[in-house]
Structure 1
Amino acid sequence: MTSAISLFSPVEADLSLLSENLKRLVGARHPILHAAAEHLFGAGGKRIRPAVVLLLSRATMSDQSLTAQHRRLAEITEMIHTASLVHDDVVDEAEMRRGVPTVHSSFGNRIAVLAGDFLFAQSSWYLANLDNLEVVKLLSRVIMDLAEGEIQQGLNRFDTELSIEAYLDKSYYKTASLIANSAKAAGVLSGVSAELKEQLYGYGRNLGLAFQIVDDILDFTSSTETLGKPAGSDLRSGNLTAPVLYAMEEQPALAQAIEREFAEVGDFEKAIATIHQSQGIERSRTLAAKHIEQANACLAELAPSTSRQALLDIADYVLRRLH
Structure 2
Amino acid sequence: MQSIQTELKKLNENLQKMIATENPILYSAAEQLFNARGKRIRPAIILLISKLISANNTISIEQKRLAEIAEIIHTASLVHDDVIDNCDTRRGIRSVHTVFNNKIAVLAGDFLFAQSSWYLANLNNPNVVKTISKIITDFAEGEVQQGIRSFNYQASVEEYIEKSFYKTASLLACSCKATAILNKSHIKVQNDFYMYGKHIGLGFQIIDDILDITSKSANLGKPAASDLKNGNFTAPLILALNKKSKLEKMINQEFQFNQTLNEAINIIKKTNSIQKAKDMAEENIQLAIQILKKKYSNKNNKELLLNTYYLLNRVY
Q: Tell me if both proteins adopt one fold, taking TM over 0.5 as the criterion.
A: yes
CA contact (8 A) 2:150 2:232 kept: yes
What residue in structure 2 maps to residue 262 of structure 1?
255
- 2: CA distance, partners of 1:235 / 1:146: 20
CA contact (8 A) 1:59 1:303 kept: no
AA aligned opposite 1:154 = G
The change in CA–CA distance for 1:265 and 1:91 in structure 2 (over 3 A counts) is closer
CA RMSD of aligned residues (A): 1.5
Q: After superposition, where does 1:175-214 map in structure 2 within 5 Å?
A: 175-214=168-207
What residue in structure 2 maps to residue 282 of structure 1?
275
Q: Select 1:231's aligned residue among 200, 215, 224.
A: 224
1:16-73 CA deviation, whole Å, 9 max, x = no partner?
Answer: 1111111011024332333234322121200001111111111111111121111111
AA aligned opposite 2:86 = E
- 1: CA distance, partners of 2:303 / 2:24: 37
> Is 1:139 equivalent to 2:111 in the alignment?
no
In the TM superposition, residue 217 of structure 1 has moved relative to its aligned partner by 0.4
Q: After superposition, where does 1:53-64 map in structure 2 within 5 Å?
A: 53-64=46-57
- 2: CA distance, partners of 1:269 / 1:262: 9
- 2: CA distance, partners of 1:304 / 1:99: 40
Q: TM-score, normalised by structure 2?
A: 0.96
- 2: CA distance, partners of 1:266 / 1:145: 35
What residue in structure 1 maps to residue 31 of structure 2?
38
Q: Select 2:238's aligned residue among 233, 240, 245.
A: 245
- 1: CA distance, partners of 2:290 / 2:68: 27
The change in CA–CA distance for 1:131 and 1:271 in structure 2 (over 3 A counts) is same
> Is 1:74 equivalent to 2:67 in the alignment?
yes
> Is 1:111 equivalent to 2:111 in the alignment?
no
Residue aligned with 2:295, SS: coil
In the TM superposition, residue 264 of structure 1 has moved relative to its aligned partner by 6.9
What residue in structure 1 maps to residue 44 of structure 2?
51
The change in CA–CA distance for 1:62 and 1:165 in structure 2 (over 3 A counts) is same
> Is 1:302 equivalent to 2:296 in the alignment?
yes
1:192-238 CA deviation, whole Å, 9 max, x = no partner?
Answer: 11111111011100001000000100011111211122221211111
Residue aligned with 2:38, SS: coil
What residue in structure 2 maps to residue 317 of structure 1?
310
In the alignment of these two chains, the number of paired residues is 315
What residue in structure 1 maps to residue 2 of structure 2?
9
In the TM superposition, residue 151 of structure 1 has moved relative to its aligned partner by 1.0
Q: After superposition, where does 1:98-177 map in structure 2 within 5 Å?
A: 98-177=91-170
In the TM superposition, residue 265 of structure 1 has moved relative to its aligned partner by 8.1
What residue in structure 2 maps to residue 86 of structure 1?
79
CA contact (8 A) 2:153 2:251 kept: yes
CA contact (8 A) 1:60 1:187 kept: yes
- 1: CA distance, partners of 2:30 / 2:258: 42
Q: TM-score, normalised by structure 1?
A: 0.94
Residue aligned with 2:240, SS: helix
| % identical aligned pairs | 46
AA aligned opposite 1:302 = Y
Which stretch of the first structure deviates more once superposed, 275-284 or 226-235?
226-235
CA contact (8 A) 2:131 2:178 kept: yes
What residue in structure 2 maps to residue 3 of structure 1?
none
What residue in structure 2 maps to residue 271 of structure 1?
264
- 1: CA distance, partners of 2:127 / 2:266: 48
In the TM superposition, residue 304 of structure 1 has moved relative to its aligned partner by 4.4
Gaps of 5+ in 1: 1-7
Query: Runs (4+) of structure 1 moved beyond 4 Å?
Result: 263-266, 303-306
- 1: CA distance, partners of 2:258 / 2:102: 32
CA contact (8 A) 1:296 1:315 kept: yes
